[in-house]
Amino acid sequence: MFQVKQIASRAWEWLDEGGDSFYLVTGNNTAAVIDTGITPGAQILPEIRKITDLPLVLILTHAHIDHIHHMDEFSTVYLCHSELQLPEEFLREMMAGKQLDLSGTIDIRTGSRIDLGGNRLEICQIPGHTPGSVAVWNPEEDLLFTGDAIGSGCGVWMQVPGALPLTQYEENLRRFMRWLLDRGGKMRFFGGHNRQTAQSKLLPNNPLSMGLLADLIDLVHGVVTGTITGTPSEAKAFSDETVLYAYFGRAEMIYLASQI
């Protein structure tokens, strides 16, 4: 049901059947799970327990259905509370029939640190895909977990309900880029759906990277200023409005004309 792979000396990645990635980073006294994927009717905790016996915390990159589903298996959960701005009805849909306590989570913001004992995680907000999307950085091994904030290699979804206007997303991406450069800019990126690196229209394999992030900034800027025009896309629509696809360099984006 799950594929697991060690990605660094103290980090592991799971891929569930639906193609969702979630991660584990261990310290000396605590371990952090980042996102949960969605495997209805199953639990992810037994999978995590095959790797570590340490007390666990869960960090959610954002409040979408395929990232939060198993949060009820954890007692300590971190989430940027800007996610609570999403419409209540939409958040209820994201719970897929479960009663998940989003407002009972611990709020995280840019600058929040989670100490694992001899290893730590730092948070950077990237509002766009959702208002409370965050990236999680592990300085010790220079790993960066980005959820869906910049896509996973075949385009960021900005057509989802509650996504921010592209003008704001562009500014937030530039701020994110500066935050990464201030910390060396050599991170290894891990998105929320790692299999998507092989589903790009542009390259046979298109992993997330600083280069892709730079191209994404140029892409969003091009769409905002009108130098790049999207074409109709078959990606999932959440309203009657035509969904558009645009690309620049290595970066792809799904969006709505009304959202610029």
What is the size of the binding site for Zn ion (CB under 5 A)?
4
Binding mask 119-158 for Zn ion (x = CB under 5 A): -----------------------------x----------
Taking CB under 5 A as the binding criterion, the range among 29-37, 58-66, 227-235, 246-254 that sits at the site for Zn ion is 58-66
Q: Can you tell me which of 153, 192, 207, 230 binds Zn ion, judged by CB under 5 A? A: 192
Smaller CB separation from Zn ion, 64 or 69: 64
Taking CB under 5 A as the binding criterion, the range among 85-93, 107-115, 188-196, 243-251 that sits at the site for Zn ion is 188-196
- Assess 83 for contact with Zn ion (CB under 5 A): no
- Assess 66 for contact with Zn ion (CB under 5 A): yes
| Other beta carbons less than 10 A from residue 134's beta carbon | 30
Taking CB under 5 A as the binding criterion, the range among 68-76, 87-95, 189-197, 216-224 that sits at the site for Zn ion is 189-197
Smaller CB separation from Zn ion, 119 or 157: 157
Q: Can you tell me which of 10, 64, 69, 70 binds Zn ion, judged by CB under 5 A? A: 64
Smaller CB separation from Zn ion, 119 or 197: 197
**Angular region, 190: left φ>0, alpha ψ -120 to 50, beta rest:** beta
Taking CB under 5 A as the binding criterion, the range among 78-86, 105-113, 185-193, 211-219 that sits at the site for Zn ion is 185-193
**Which residues here bind Zn ion, judged by CB under 5 A?**
64, 66, 148, 192
